[in-house]
């Protein structure tokens, strides 16, 4: 039973878990904020019957939802936050074997490990066992020298705001580079490729990467504006 990858995924198709053509898994993600030593719960959600590989699901769905969540001033009232730790747990229903527990600094998750591990659970999934992937992202507030007596950060200067914006855009480029990085040993079209359903490698040019970044930023802005609408 294979794990579905982005090149073979049809976003308009309904994948039947009762007559599966690929592995299905439940994805529970949780966001916490670390205050001193302990971390308090901020938000959690569960996506059921995911078919797309974890690395691709992160790029297509999770990153945008995280960015929107960090813009919610009720949940994150400070000026800036950074991910301090990511905790991963893979479990199988009615089985204590072949699970996985990992902790990563910041968001430096080895997504290839997660993809390969879940793909290796295909035989258990075919036997009717549910596969669960849990992820907790622990954030902490980025404090500056400009703080009040009570310790809460004041408004940032224009230069500080620009610096944070550059860091955010650098993170977006890093994720895009990683997502489109060609991993084939003998590909002559790399280092970044799209792979069609026939397995052909299509070279991606720098200008095309720039267009993808512009599209992602514009789409994120539209989502944030819809979230602010009160009509």
**Domains of the chain, residue spans:** 1-145, 157-222
73-122 pLDDT per residue, tens: 889 888 888 999 999 999 998 887 789 999 999 999 999 999 999 999 99
Residue 14 has pLDDT above 50, yes or no: yes
Give Dmax (Cα) for the chain.
62
> Position of tokens 């995911």?
50
What is the pTM (predicted TM-score) of this model?
0.63
Contact present, 201 and 213 (Cβ < 8 Å): no
Rounded CA-CA distance 164/107 in Å is: 17
Q: What is the DSSP letter of 59?
A: I
3-state SS of 29-52? EEEEEEECCEEEEEEEEEEEEECE
Q: Does domain 1-145 have CATH number 3.90.105?
A: no
131-151 pLDDT per residue, tens: 999 999 999 988 755 444 444
């Amino acid at each position: 039973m294979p794990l579905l990858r982005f090149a073979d995924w049809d976003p308009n198709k309904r994948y039947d878990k009762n007559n599966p053509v690929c592995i299905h898994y439940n994805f529970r993600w949780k966001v916490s904020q670390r205050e001193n030593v302990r971390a308090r719960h901020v938000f959690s959600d569960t996506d059921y019957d995911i078919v797309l590989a974890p690395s691709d699901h992160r790029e297509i769905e999770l990153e945008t939802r995280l960015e929107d969540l960090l813009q919610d001033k009720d949940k994150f009232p400070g000026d800036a936050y950074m991910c301090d730790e990511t905790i991963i747990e893979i479990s199988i229903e009615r089985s204590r074997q072949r699970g996985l527990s990992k902790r990563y600094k910041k968001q430096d998750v080895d997504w290839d490990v997660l993809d390969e591990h879940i793909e290796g659970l295909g035989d258990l999934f075919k036997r009717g066992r549910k596969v669960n992937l849990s992820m907790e992202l622990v954030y902490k507030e980025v404090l500056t020298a400009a703080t009040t007596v009570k310790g809460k950060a004041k408004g940032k200067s224009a230069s500080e705001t620009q610096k944070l914006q550059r860091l955010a855009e650098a993170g977006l480029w890093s994720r895009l580079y990683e997502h489109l990085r060609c991993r084939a040993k003998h590909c002559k079209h790399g280092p970044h490729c799209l792979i069609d359903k026939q397995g052909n490698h299509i070279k991606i040019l720098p200008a095309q990467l720039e267009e993808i970044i512009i599209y992602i930023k514009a789409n994120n802005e539209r989502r944030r504006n819809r979230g602010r609408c009160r009509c």
